Amino acid sequence: MQLSDSVQYVKGVGPQRLKLFHRCGIFTIADLLYYFPRRYEDRTRIKPIAKVRLGEFETVKGKILALGIRKTKNNFSLFQLAIGDGTGIIYATWFNQDYLKRFFKKGEEVIISGKVGFFNQLQMNSPEYEIIRSEKERIHSGRIVPVYPLTQNLTQRFFRKIIKEAIDKYASALEDILPAYVRNAERLMEIREAIENIHFPRTIFLQERARERLVFEEFFLLQVGIALRRQYLKRLSGRKKRGELTHRTLTHRFRQLIPFKLTQAQERVMAEIERDISSSQPMNRLVQGDVGSGKTIIAIYALLLSLERGKQGVFMAPTEILAEQHYFTLEKILFPLNINIALLVSGLPAKVRRETIEKIRKGEVDIIVGTHSVIQKRVEYKNLGVVVIDEQHKFGVEQRQELRKKGLNPDCLIMSATPIPRTLALTLYGDLDISVLDETPAGRQPIFTYWVEEEKREKLYQFIYKQVKEGRQGYIVYPVIKKSSNTRLKDIEENFKRLKEIFADFSLSLLHGRMKKEEKEEVMRRFARGEIDILVSTNVIEVGIDVPNASIMVIENAEHFGLSQLHQLRGRVGRGKFKSYCFLLGEPKTEEGVKRLMSITSSQDGFKIADDDLKLRGVGEFFGARQHGLSELRIGDVLKDTQIMQRAKKWADALVEKDYHLLLPEHQLIKRELRRRFGDKWALISVG
């Protein structure tokens, strides 16, 4: 009998029930042992019946004094036990479960746990029960009882029995994946003991110890996988040939061209990138910086460093508008340097596009700015040195894979405006080095953020009127809720008409995702040139747009936006020298919604906001379900168990450093487990 055998070999699991187990993701006996409780109920405290409190969850123990079934007025059948312990009598009742009668006998001792009610008599409805035959073997009551996340038709009671059976019969076959040297140094429980105590802990302390051990194991495996991948990438690219760094004129002159003083954070990150690009291994770096922290300068610096080695650079943005904006920024600031810069987006006329691609192939362009089509389509590079990926915290991983598939292994710089806590970043992007731009440029004004009540709408419009009169520009943003809800778009169009009347003196324009691309871009361009005063839009403007003269952001139905989204939207203003404002309208219907608006009004710090966002939404939703090895986690919580994560990472890194091929005998089980989880290419484990 093996742990990898089907769960149907466990006594009590018939072919019928097997399907239900499958639905919970339980196929093997090992799966069963690793199916952890969602929570526990402490039923150790048995109370005298005379002492139970109404409305509380209590556990009592007594003799069955009487039992029977009767019909209620509305024709339910009610099965009842009268239980007495010498201090009082309490009734256990179940509706429409006559079959239960077979299980109980008058005179037997039982323990019942449940919420105490009173209907002419003390009563518990559908309590958990356990008939005491042998004092030692209690699993449903009189102890800390596990509660599992189950699908319908599998009862807690049944499931507990199966787990108990599996532990008794098979736990002895469990082998400890953690090497003894790690377990001892970290003082972790042994696997068998941990599995027993995670399901049926004798004390809360033991349950916590068991959990610690299992969380550690989970993180440890994940981190070994990440460390292996990191090593693999390093070795793969060890052969990388660097162009000689012949001259530093470009970066030196660029520094002189920057019209402001760099922040210390910018200087630091630039030095980090310079070190990467000078080393023999390709750069794989993530720059996390809040909106407005000045990431574009960093990107340009990386592109120029590559150019100084005679290699082309690609600057990739998620939208055409943004790519175009970057293109113009580069053209403007790099003009004196005489560099060939090309824009490559699908919106180009076919002829221009063809010529551009040709120039790229021949090496006649130095820097290519575009959307992700620059790496996907048949674009060949003469000599690609660096790829900078802007605003793509979610997709950077995939795009690097895309590049590698093309046989390219350039330096990669990924820039993200959705900063996430460092430990989590290390897990998610375990094969990336991380730089943090934790400083906003001096002189940047805080953005005054208010949650505005509906009654103050008039006042708000007056305020906007005044601002625009003074020459400022503003955004009014509406959410589009679902693709299907045409009505919403109609709402925006309706509102747009109304706003045009209110702000009749100004130039307003509408911008939404259903407009043609050219139209959208034209509107954006006119807004950037100051020809449009107020842009009424959906969240299409969320990413990256930089119009320093815009100082007002109004967000309608703010409760429909995620926290990071709100922060990104707000980041569209406060980019110039003008005092800027963000107004949120909306009435959240959930507590979470209220918390989001409170968080955004009380903080400007992107890291803090991302942290709140993660906590409010949970990791899965924050990153999308399919993301990363994290979906594999059954017990560890990347947000709460960061300390265990760090400990596990330390050991995992050391292990891979010492034994990359996992040849040592004490690492064989790890190898087997990684293989089981990630298939044969376990050294290529994709965390992305």
Q: Which does 472 bind (CB under 5 to 8 A by kind): ligand ADP, Mg ion, none?
A: none
Question: Does 580 sit near ligand ADP (CB under 6 A)?
Answer: no
Q: State the minimum distance, in angstroms, from the CB of residue 510 to Mg ion.
A: 25
Q: State the minimum distance, in angstroms, from the CB of residue 565 to Mg ion.
A: 16
Q: Which two tokens stand for residue 683?
A: 């050294």
Question: Does 544 sit near Mg ion (CB under 5 A)?
Answer: yes
| Distance between CA atoms of residues 480 and 511, nearest Å | 12
Secondary structure letter of residue 465 according to DSSP: H
Question: Does 441 sit near ligand ADP (CB under 6 A)?
Answer: yes
Q: Which does 263 bind (CB under 5 to 8 A by kind): Mg ion, ligand ADP, none?
A: ligand ADP
398-427 residues in contact with ligand ADP (CB under 6 A) are: 417
Q: State the minimum distance, in angstroms, from the CB of residue 431 to Mg ion.
A: 24
Single out the residue of 61, 295, 311, 520 in contact with ligand ADP (rule: CB under 6 A). Answer: 295
Q: State the minimum distance, in angstroms, from the CB of residue 296 to ligand ADP.
A: 3
Q: State the minimum distance, in angstroms, from the CB of residue 371 to ligand ADP.
A: 16
CA 429 distance to own-chain centroid: 12
Q: State the minimum distance, in angstroms, from the CB of residue 415 to ligand ADP.
A: 7
Q: Which residues contact 221 (CB under 8 A, 6 or more apart)?
A: 177, 670, 673, 674, 677
Angle at 281 between CA 275 and CA 287, to 5 degrees: 55
Single out the residue of 100, 262, 502, 639 in contact with ligand ADP (rule: CB under 6 A). Answer: 262
* Residue 40 burial class via C-beta count within 10 angstroms: exposed 0-12, middle 13-18, buried 19 and up: middle
CB atoms within 10 A of CB 570: 23
282-321 residues in contact with Mg ion (CB under 5 A) are: 295
Q: Which does 117 bind (CB under 5 to 8 A by kind): ligand ADP, Mg ion, none?
A: none
Q: Which does 546 bind (CB under 5 to 8 A by kind): ligand ADP, Mg ion, none?
A: ligand ADP
Single out the residue of 141, 284, 293, 449 in contact with ligand ADP (rule: CB under 6 A). Answer: 293
Contact 297, 415 (CB under 8 A): no
Mark residues 105-134: x for contact with ligand ADP by CB under 6 A, - for none: ------------------------------
SS3 sequence of 487-539? HHHHHHHHHHHHHHHHCCCCCEEEECCCCCHHHHHHHHHHHHCCCCCEEEECH
> Which residue in 234, 312, 297 sits closest to 263, CA to CA?
297
> Which residue in 369, 317, 393 sits closest to 565, CA to CA?
393
Question: Does 605 sit near ligand ADP (CB under 6 A)?
Answer: no
* Closer residue to Mg ion, CB minimum distance, 207 or 399: 399
Question: Does 569 sit near ligand ADP (CB under 6 A)?
Answer: no
Residue 433 phi/psi, 5-degree rounding, is: -85, 155
Single out the residue of 123, 197, 296, 537 in contact with ligand ADP (rule: CB under 6 A). Answer: 296
Q: Which residue is nearest to ligand ADP (CB)?
A: 294
* Closer residue to Mg ion, CB minimum distance, 223 or 392: 392
Q: State the minimum distance, in angstroms, from the CB of residue 391 to Mg ion.
A: 6
Q: Which two tokens stand for residue 461?
A: 């419009």
Strands 57-71 and 109-118, by their bridges, are: antiparallel
Q: State the minimum distance, in angstroms, from the CB of residue 528 to ligand ADP.
A: 12
| Secondary structure of residue 309 in the 3-state scheme | coil
Residue 484 phi/psi, 5-degree rounding, is: -70, -25
| Secondary structure of residue 68 in the 3-state scheme | strand
Binding site for ligand ADP (CB under 6 A): 260-263, 266, 289, 291-297, 417, 441, 546, 548, 575
Residues that bind Mg ion (CB under 5 A): 295, 544
